[in-house]
């Protein structure tokens, strides 16, 4: 999950994508895709599913530009957003001010959550779990466990690897293609490292004489693997869903949403 940067130094892909050169493009694309109505219905689902008391405190881990954190605050929860990206956190703070809600945004790595026995619940939305390698993902679950109070609840939204894999013809990997967005040409490549279960997507955006490279990697987990990992870190799974309308999880589901309870 590490790449060489332009100077030949090793760097984790997510730093380049979310923290450094590419984050503005990420924000432009994703901010457009996730509408306010979508965010509101996702939070309807979160509240109904977790059943946290209206005065409860909720950690939105990997909060991005804070769309869920702010919506939770709107509904009266004490919400805290944590993310590693200063650019996205600044967008989140401006948006919270604009919406006149009180939210705390903290810059931190998901493996080092600076809270202890504090939250009633933690949500990790939109495939943010799996960004790191196995060691990092384990450290993240341990950090969440530490940050939750007793009876704390966790909602983890992961890729459903079956859905993710059948989107293309697996016999043609690496899958390559191109598309056009106005005068911008986009080259795509997707691949899967089947030994380590890491999916990679690359996009090169070419416009005039310049180009932007994006690389994303995700560790794809099966549900039994995640259940085991959660148990090892002190959580017991209490429910599974396949999307934000609450449908049951099955092979064709777009998401793998796990609700788990802190055990000790």
In the complex, which residues of this chain contact ligand SAM (CB under 6 A)?
Answer: 14, 18, 34, 62-64, 67, 83-85, 88, 109-110, 125-128, 131
Min separation Cβ 190 and ligand SAM, Å: 17
Pairwise CA distance, residues 103 & 93, whole Å: 8
CB 18 within 8 A of CB 84: yes
User: Residue 176: left if φ>0, alpha if ψ -120 to 50, beta else—which one?
Assistant: beta
Closer residue to ligand SAM (CB): 34 or 93: 34
Tokens for 47?
A: 């509240």
Place of tokens 């030994």: 195
Distance in angstroms (rounded) separating the CA atoms of residues 10 and 24: 22
Cβ atoms of 117 and 149 within 8 Å: the answer is yes
Cβ closest to ligand SAM, residue 62 vs residue 103: 62
**CB count, 10 Å around CB of 19?**
18
Minimum distance from residue 61 beta carbon to ligand SAM (Å): 7
Q: ∠ at Cα 191 (159, 6), nearest 5°?
A: 105
> CB of 262: closest distance to ligand SAM in angstroms?
20
The residue among 105 and 126 lying less far from ligand SAM, judged by its C-beta, is 126
Rounded least distance, CB 38 to ligand SAM, Å: 10
CB closer to ligand SAM out of 52 and 89: 89
Handedness of CA 101, 107, 110, 112 (dihedral sign): negative
Q: Output the smallest distance, CB 175 to ligand SAM, in A.
A: 21
Nearest Cα to Cα of residue 78 among 103, 98, 97: 103
- Whichever of 192 and 217 has its CB closer to ligand SAM, that residue is 217
Nearest residue (CB) to ligand SAM, 5 versus 231: 5
The minimum distance between CB 260 and ligand SAM, in angstroms, equals 18
By beta-carbon distance, which residue lies closest to ligand SAM?
64
């Amino acid at each position: 999950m590490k790449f060489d940067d332009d100077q030949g130094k090793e760097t984790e892909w997510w730093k380049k994508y979310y923290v450094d050169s590419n984050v503005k493009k990420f924000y432009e694309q994703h901010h457009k895709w996730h509408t306010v109505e979508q965010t509101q219905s996702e939070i309807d689902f979160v509240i109904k599913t977790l059943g946290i008391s209206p005065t409860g405190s909720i950690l939105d881990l990997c909060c991005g530009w804070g769309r869920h954190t702010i919506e939770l605050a709107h509904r009266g929860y004490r919400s805290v957003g944590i993310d590693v990206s200063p650019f996205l956190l600044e967008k989140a703070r401006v948006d919270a001010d604009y919406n006149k809600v009180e939210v705390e945004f903290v810059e931190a790595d998901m493996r080092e959550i600076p809270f202890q026995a504090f939250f009633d619940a933690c949500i990790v939305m939109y495939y943010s779990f799996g960004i790191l390698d196995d060691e990092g993902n384990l450290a993240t679950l341990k950090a969440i466990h530490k940050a939750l109070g007793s009876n704390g609840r966790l909602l983890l939204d992961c890729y459903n690897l079956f859905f993710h894999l059948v989107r293309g013809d697996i016999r043609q990997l690496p899958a390559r293609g191109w598309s056009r967005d106005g005068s911008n040409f986009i080259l795509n490549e997707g691949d899967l490292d089947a030994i380590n279960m890491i999916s990679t997507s690359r996009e090169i955006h070419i416009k005039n004489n310049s180009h932007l490279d994006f690389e994303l990697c995700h560790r794809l987990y099966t549900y039994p693997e995640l259940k085991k990992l959660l148990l090892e870190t002190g959580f017991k799974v209490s429910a599974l869903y396949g999307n934000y309308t609450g449908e049951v999880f099955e092979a064709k589901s777009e998401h793998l949403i796990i609700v788990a309870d802190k055990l000790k």
